[in-house]
Structure 1
Amino acid sequence: MRTIFAGAALTALAVLSTLTTAACSANTAGTAAPAVSGGAAPGKDSPAVGFVFVGPKDDYGYNQAAYQGSQEVAKVFPQLKVITAENVPEDDNAARVMNSMIAKGARIIFATSYGHLDAALKVAAEHPDVVVVQQGNLITGTTPPNAGTFFGTVYEPVYLAGIAAGKATKTGKLGYVYAFPISQTIDNIDAFELGARSVNPTVKTYAVSTSSWCDPAKQAEAAANLLKQGVDVITQHQDCTATVIKATEAAGAMTVGYHADASGIAPKGWLTGSQWNWGPLYSDIVRTALAGTFTGSKYNANFRVGYKTGDNPFVQSPYGPGVDEETKKLVDAAKEKLRNSSPFAGPVRDQDGKVRVPEGTTPDYETIEKIDYFVEGVVGSLPKS
């Protein structure tokens, strides 16, 4: 998920939006784009599919998970050539790369970074025969009929990881290293604290921004500062995750992962994490495009999946040695509850004690993806709009 905010604040993994009626009609929003008149259906005659990544494919994080999903597409559709591009900036270069893929035969493009949205919409408008889907953002206004966004409600497994962190901490201080204060990251920080507070009412989460999706130097500095404050569990919302995890492990503290399973580099302090499993969802989008039914499908406009839909694109990472059986049972019970509820079920208060979600109410996905405040228990400030 990426770039400095492009107007609409993220929430999106995630994370917001429109669900297909088959998934959860009560939480749908937006209007499906009209069908394309004349010509081949977008994406139908595709010898190739392109994937654009904002970072490297081996970052132990966001881009690695997306790359792994692209390779599953290659296995599921051996007749298609899978074209990938790493380290693609969130500017006009993204459109240039997508156009290069189209010149090589791609009629389906996955723009996987939050900041690739503008380029994706531009390319979709210029190439009505190409399906262009963007991962993690939210399309507002007029939607090209061959474009859409998708993401998962990743704040749900983040909430569960918060339970593990809340039970494991000895100091009552958790740390959160994040990139930009967009809705997706705010959702995750809030959900993490809400999960921790559900089992440890006095715990606090100290949130620190690096203003970058992947800057190892800033990440190391942020981790060091948190550890100096007595934080003994650190998690993050960064694209590349190895630096923070290694620094935390070296200090003898505990870590909660994000995007990908990095337990191998934190054998002692690893608790659990939230990781993406994009392959099945990517493959379904490709299948829809090849069938000529993308336009007007669930992937037009803004598509979100999670525990309520049952086809969520994420999994909980394996547990580490510091998670006991009692905690595992608490996490299992909370996960089952989330199938019909939300981490943000009321009452939810912000840092100032103001009730943002009244008791007895549960916000829909779109509302959650517009959250612009830290909840009670989060230490840190958001820029004033």
Structure 2
Amino acid sequence: MNIKTILASAALAMTAATGALAEKTKVGFVYVGPVGDGGWTYEHDQGRKAVVEAFGDKVETMYVESVPEGPDSERVMTDMALKGADLIFTTSFGYMDPTINVAAKFPNVKFEHATGYKQADNVSVYSARFYEGRAVQGHIAGHMTKSNIIGYIGSFPIPEVIRGINSAYIHAKKVNPDVQFKIVWAYTWFDPTKEADAAKVLIEQGADVVLQHTDSTAPQAAAQAAGNVITFGQASDMAAYGPMPRVSSIIDDWAPYYIARTQAVMDGTWTSTSTWDGIGAGMVGIGEISNAVPADVKASAEALRDSLADGSYHAFTGPLNKQDGSAWLAAGETASDYGDDSLAGMNFYLEGIEGDVPN
């Protein structure tokens, strides 16, 4: 083999290698909590790992955890874009405006924002119908409470959280008309100390069931220490606390969505979309109902889950009134996703819930 042939072969090999590197799709993830939170961020990172498993060396993923919602998130997103990210998932509501701002500066990068509502040509939004899972939790909670006081730890008073409170309440009330909800706002997604304190306050107020829309397992630990208090896993199964206090859970499964959207970028078919899936599509799962729940309650909860999944029942079906007694949904009417008084913009409690929605 002469020198020209050797050089030509080397050049072809280098070109092939360069092409292979160029084809690698870079995917970034911005997380509001630590990947070990046992809840929300943990499940998003499971989705990232699923992308790696699905595509192998065709993808390169990067992530930054515990990124505050606000200006610092713009810095993180910008850094990912400058590092060559083709697709960036921003996984908390408070990243909405930062995502839009950074996307405008990088029109060739695709962005996916979780739980928000602002889109652009290169920004999609996605969320899950967590309120369907809250309906199942409320059903179990209404049956299981002995004090008739159910506590709820809220993160921030945004529509996603308010929907969950309302859904849990009306389904607890359906099976137990004497149920009372007490709500403590933690004003954090992840702060184990604040979450534990919120759980303790609710337990001191008589709650023997505690639901949460925060991300750590601290409320589970507080309930376990108190004894005879029931909890539910949030975003992840939190099965380590089963069969008591954790008797079931809402599990967020982001993997299929993350894989599909990464594939779309690879195929060149990605477009800006709005996705809002629930139990039926598998984005919301109901964790195993433990043997601490009576068999008949478990069976009825599973029937409710199945009716939500197949669409034969909607979690918000009238008659339902707003907190002030004014009509919201007539008998048999179901809530709309968008528009006036819609689920997407829900900022009011339903009749029977005490207290005000914080501004």
**Greater RCO between the two (CA within 8 Å, min separation 6)?**
1
Partner of 2:288: 318
User: Are 1:115 and 2:115 matched, yes or no?
Assistant: no
Structure of higher CA gyration radius: 2
**Aligned equivalent of 1:99, options 73, 78, 88:** 78
Deviates more, 1:208-217 or 1:48-57: 208-217
Alignment length, in residue pairs? 331
Alpha-carbon distance in structure 1 between the residues aligned to 2:27 and 2:231: 36
**Aligned equivalent of 2:182, options 202, 206, 214:** 206
- Confirm or deny: 8 A CA contact 2:95 2:113 kept in the other structure: yes
Change (3 A) 1:359 1:45: farther
The code of the aligned residue for 2:39 comes to G
Partner of 1:258: 234
Deviates more, 1:163-172 or 1:366-375: 366-375
TM-score, normalised to structure 1, is: 0.82
User: Are 1:332 and 2:311 matched, yes or no?
Assistant: no
- Confirm or deny: 8 A CA contact 1:165 1:256 kept in the other structure: no
User: Are 1:359 and 2:331 matched, yes or no?
Assistant: yes
Alpha-carbon distance in structure 1 between the residues aligned to 2:314 and 2:344: 13
The code of the aligned residue for 1:349 comes to N
Q: What value does the CA root-mean-square deviation take over the aligned residues?
A: 1.7
Alpha-carbon distance in structure 2 between the residues aligned to 1:61 and 1:247: 16
Pairs within 5 Å for 1:1-385: 47-78=25-56, 79-139=58-118, 143-240=119-216, 242-252=217-227, 253-295=229-271, 300-307=272-279, 310-338=280-308, 339-366=311-338, 367-383=342-358
SS at match of 2:248: strand
- Confirm or deny: 8 A CA contact 1:165 1:196 kept in the other structure: yes
SS at match of 2:281: coil
- Confirm or deny: 8 A CA contact 2:320 2:350 kept in the other structure: yes
Residue identity (%) = 31
- Confirm or deny: 8 A CA contact 2:243 2:292 kept in the other structure: no
Alpha-carbon distance in structure 2 between the residues aligned to 1:355 and 1:332: 30
Alpha-carbon distance in structure 2 between the residues aligned to 1:301 and 1:133: 9
- Confirm or deny: 8 A CA contact 1:203 1:377 kept in the other structure: no
Give deviations 1:133-164, integer Å, cap 9, x for gaps. Answer: 1001111xxx4211110011110011011111
Change (3 A) 1:119 1:45: farther
SS at match of 2:107: coil
Deviates more, 1:76-85 or 1:364-373: 364-373
- Residue 61 of structure 1 deviates from its aligned partner by 1.3
- Confirm or deny: 8 A CA contact 2:235 2:251 kept in the other structure: yes
User: Structure 1 stretches of 5 or more lacking a match?
Assistant: 1-43
- Confirm or deny: 8 A CA contact 2:25 2:266 kept in the other structure: no
User: Structure 2 stretches of 5 or more lacking a match?
Assistant: 1-21
TM-score, normalised to structure 2, is: 0.88
- Confirm or deny: 8 A CA contact 1:208 1:380 kept in the other structure: no
- Residue 221 of structure 1 deviates from its aligned partner by 2.1
- Residue 290 of structure 1 deviates from its aligned partner by 1.5
The code of the aligned residue for 2:55 comes to F
Deviates more, 1:173-182 or 1:261-270: 261-270
- Confirm or deny: 8 A CA contact 1:137 1:149 kept in the other structure: yes
- Confirm or deny: 8 A CA contact 1:223 1:244 kept in the other structure: yes
SS at match of 1:190: helix
Dislocated runs of 4+, deviation >4 Å: none
Structure with greater helix share of residues = 2
The code of the aligned residue for 2:259 comes to S
Give deviations 1:286-342, integer Å, cap 9, x for gaps. Answer: 1112111112xxxx24221124xx323121011123212211221122223322332
The code of the aligned residue for 2:96 comes to L
